[in-house]
């Protein structure tokens, strides 16, 4: 199933100069970049985005970390994009993430773990609407499209 998913390149990604490397991996996999912008997250946005963590003792620390620098929010699209991006990203704790994953290769932290990714198609839709206006998500066909998918894989 063709899906769109959110990827946030966190301050740890920007401050370590890994933006190009991380985006390269998604592009090389064959995911289509449908939207990308840099923004400074606010406390209100983070309260909403991380509401499921509000009762955790590390909640404020996560919010503070996400506001140190701007972030880059991305929308990637592809067949089973949510699952593919999550697999490429690896476990939340970089120390436990498998080598070869983004976090496994670039993170030693539970918090400073390079990227945020949507965990389900339902949450992807909610998160994308939180960070993108409809006109900021673009539809186009990759020139290599026929070499990324078989003719019957992409509807």
Residues whose CB falls within 8 Å of the CB of residue 19, separated by 6 or more in sequence, listed in order: 9, 13, 72
What contacts 155, CB < 8 A, 6 or more positions away? 2
Q: How far is residue 31's CA from residue 136's CA, in Å, rounded to a whole number?
A: 17
Enter the tokens of residue 113.
């773990």
Active-site annotation holds for 49? no
Q: Which of 49, 52, 116, 145 is catalytic?
A: 116
C-alpha distance from residue 118 to each of 16, 79, 97, 150 (Å) = 22, 15, 17, 26
Q: What whole-number distance in Å separates Cα of residue 102 and Cα of residue 24?
A: 11
* Residues tagged active-site: 116
């Amino acid at each position: 199933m063709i899906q769109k998913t959110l990827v946030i390149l966190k301050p740890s990604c920007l401050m370590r100069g890994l933006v190009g490397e991380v985006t390269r991996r998604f592009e090389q996999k064959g995911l289509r970049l449908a939207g990308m912008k840099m923004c400074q997250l606010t406390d209100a946005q983070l309260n909403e985005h991380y509401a499921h963590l509000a009762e955790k003792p590390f909640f404020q620390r996560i919010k503070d970390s996400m506001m140190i620098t701007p972030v880059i929010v991305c929308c990637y699209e592809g067949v089973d994009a949510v699952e593919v991006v999550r697999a490429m990203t690896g476990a939340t704790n970089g120390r436990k993430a498998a080598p070869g994953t983004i976090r496994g290769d670039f993170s030693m932290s539970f918090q400073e773990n390079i990227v945020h990714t949507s965990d389900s198609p339902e949450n992807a839709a909610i998160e994308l609407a939180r960070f993108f206006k409809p006109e900021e998500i673009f539809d186009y066909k990759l020139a290599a499209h026929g070499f990324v998918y078989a003719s019957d894989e992409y509807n």
